[in-house]
Amino acid sequence: MNLALVTGSTGFLGSLLVRKLLSRGVRVRALARPSRDVSAEFPPGAEGVLADIRDAGALTRAVDGCDTVFHTAAIVSFRNSGRREQLEVNAGGTRNVVAACLKAGVGRLVHTSSVATVGRRTDGFLADEDTEFNWPSSLTYRWSKHLAELEVLEGVSRGLDAVIVNPSVMIGPGDRYVHGGQLVRDAVRGRLIAYTRGGMNLVSVEDVAEGHLRAAEAGRSGCRYILGGVNLTHREAFHFVTGIVGGRPPVVNVPRPAVMAVARVMEFVASVAGVEPFITPDLVAGAGSFQWFSTARARAELSWHPLSLEKSIRDAYIWYRERNIL
């Protein structure tokens, strides 16, 4: 790798990836949205570029001269509103990234997808990269990321060397927009006392960033690689997080219909009040199911082995506490 472009470079994963690339002596072109002044957030040593991935011309200029592109930019939201923008950025923006890479002759594209694009299994087996997408298109985030993957695979059919990585729920320091880190904040606030049937997979953001680098080096073009950590029931996950950062452990098992009813009410109330909802129907769509994943392919083909999740949770807690955003 000589010159790498990182989209979403000021985000949770993207900023860490930029730092890791720089530490390895790779020249980095860090791309971020021009909606606000983010120049101070670019790591020292990176070439900062302000461009919107929906702007095909600006993106083509940003990609020019790069041999590797890490596409981490996306809107991660589970609100009912904003569907159009999410589709434009996540699917349409990826289409522009693919086109720019093909035009510039980029050697490799590593596309950050999500386990949200992996189908749900009901037979008790772990889902893997070959589990077909079977979520309804009404779930905007999942649908937009699924469409983005299709754009990448279309690029592969046209000669693009591209790899797709699918992280699970990421936790670690630096999660300014509080996605996976919401578990940490909810634990401290005593919100994890209730749980529902089913499970999730948690992974360290450090491991995910390392998985991106290994995918760039050893991934097979056109392949997906699930970057997951630990499969836990919701009750186990809540116990695990509260045991590390404090807070009340879960004690109440809530049926899925009740969870969905609360989510609908919360989303409506939040929309009226103009605030971010605590939970939404999209966010809890998988409630009651075990969203557990196999990482066998990433381990075997990328020699990728996730490290301690406990340290990442503790580091995230310290990071939030130091910034008074718990």
- Residue 108 has a pLDDT of 98
3-state secondary structure of 14: helix
157 pLDDT more than 90:
yes
- Residue 253 has a pLDDT of 87
What is the tens place of the pLDDT at every residue in 171-194? 999 888 777 888 998 898 888 888
For residue 200, CA distances in Å to 17, 69, 211, 232, 260 come to 24, 29, 19, 6, 17
85 pLDDT more than 80:
yes
Q: Which two tokens stand for residue 223?
A: 């392949």
What is the tens place of the pLDDT at every residue in 271-303? 777 776 767 777 777 777 899 999 999 999 999
Just give the CATH number of 3-172+203-228+292-307. 3.40.50.720
- Residue 44 has a pLDDT of 86
Measure CA 142 to chain center. Answer: 11
Average pLDDT (312-322) is: 93
Helices 309-322 + 234-245 axis angle, to 10? 50
- Residue 43 has a pLDDT of 82
- Residue 272 has a pLDDT of 73
169 pLDDT more than 60:
yes
Phi, psi of 163 (to 5 degrees): -125, 145
Q: What percent of the chain has pLDDT over 90?
A: 69
pTM: 0.93
Phi-psi region of 290 (alpha: psi -120 to 50; beta: other; left: phi over 0): beta
Q: What percent of the chain has pLDDT over 70?
A: 97
- Residue 21 has a pLDDT of 97
Return d(Cα 38, Cα 231) in angstroms, integer: 36
Sign of the torsion angle spanned by Cα atoms 216, 218, 222, 223: negative
Average pLDDT score over the chain: 91
226: β partners = 166
Cβ atoms of 192 and 250 within 8 Å: the answer is yes
Average pLDDT (36-51) is: 78
- Residue 65 has a pLDDT of 95
Which has more pLDDT, 260 or 10?
10
Residues 6+ apart with CB under 8 A from 61: 51
- Residue 39 has a pLDDT of 55
Phi-psi region of 105 (alpha: psi -120 to 50; beta: other; left: phi over 0): left
